[in-house]
Amino acid sequence: MTITRAWQTALDFLDLDLDALDIGEALEQMYQIKRAMKALFVTNEQRERVRAKYRAIRAGTLSLAHLYHTRIRFVGSLSGKRNILKAKGSVVTIAACYLSSEGVVFGADSTSTMFVAGPGPGGVGGSDHHFNFAQKIFQIGNDSSMAMAMWGLGNLAEVSYRTLIASFADQLLAQPPASMQDVADRWNVYFWQAFTTHLAPVYQRVQTLFGQQVRTIDEENELHFLVRAFSGGFCLGGNLINDRTPSAFEIRYDPTQAAAQPVTPLPIGSSNFWGCPNLIERLIYGIDDGVFNAIAQSANWHGTPDELVALIMPGLTAFPQAGLEE
């Protein structure tokens, strides 16, 4: 983009009507104005006017999509191509679940980030605010032995997870489940209906983009952003009052799905991490799946995947090689 064209693009944004934009248009405007911001601006006053409009578009996009717990930023792609939109919240959470023969252990971080609009028109002066008291593990009902940990979205538009899970617990009370598998299946359907209802504009936009056989680069970037921002999942587990056998299930969602996908039972003795699992994988195994696959597929690696595993295994901290007496 030339300096002249970038400057004209930036000036054009000063007259944008945010209320007339849908989420797709707003995201595109955010991308374009970010490119324009890299150009040489004539005066500080003009630069600040464009920055103010960018903040307004950013705040307006959050309002349009009702993303009160989904944050947006611009990052460079690893391949060195044009900048793409990416959500910060969907990959930072660490949710954990360990299923033993005696019960289920849940774990999660408590950090959340929200873009808080400023006092000026369109949210000018706003910024990201970081909080350390978000709840990501919820008991299902009162006096129950069931719970779930979650990663991804912080809520569904104006509906909180606390309210959603409490309403689901009321359903279980009215119609007692036959098994923990039944609980997981019913939550899967219940959440999916709420997801596609309360985030209908986003879901419909993703379905439209995903169904296109040919997409522009901007549409690819938009689809990439929306899928990352609105994907996540739950680990639901515990036991029924009349059945003390513990069990746990993985439940995932993303807006490219046409319907709720089957839940995945977790085996006893398994340790499971979601959200940002590469941190845990590196801590326990010394390497994460992404790095492992990159090495195995590299032209500089001439061995087999099994041979790479053999090199890594001695360094695992999860399974010490020495006996306990040593």
3-state secondary structure (DSSP) of residue 20: helix
- Tokens describing residue 154: 């912080």
Predicted pLDDT of residue 75: 25
249-268 per-position pLDDT tens digit = 999 999 999 999 999 999 99
Sheet of 94-99, strands arranged across: 104-108, 94-99, 271-275
Closest CA to 87 of 216, 232, 205, 210: 232
Phi, psi dihedrals of residue 254, rounded to the nearest 5°: -160, 155
Predicted pLDDT of residue 116: 74
Predicted pLDDT of residue 277: 67
CA distances from 297 to 164, 285, 301 (A): 43, 19, 7
Q: Are 206 and 193 in contact (CB under 8 A)?
A: no
Question: In the 8-state DSSP scheme, what is residue 214?
Answer: S
CA angle 274, 279, 281 (to 5 degrees): 80
Amino acid, single-letter form, for residue 106: F
Give the chain's residues under pLDDT 70. Answer: 1-92, 115, 120-125, 277, 317-326
Helix spans in 240-285 (H): 278-285
Residue ranges of domains in the chain: 3-65, 133-276, 278-326
Longest dimension (CA), the chain: 74
175-207 per-position pLDDT tens digit = 999 999 999 999 999 999 999 999 999 999 999
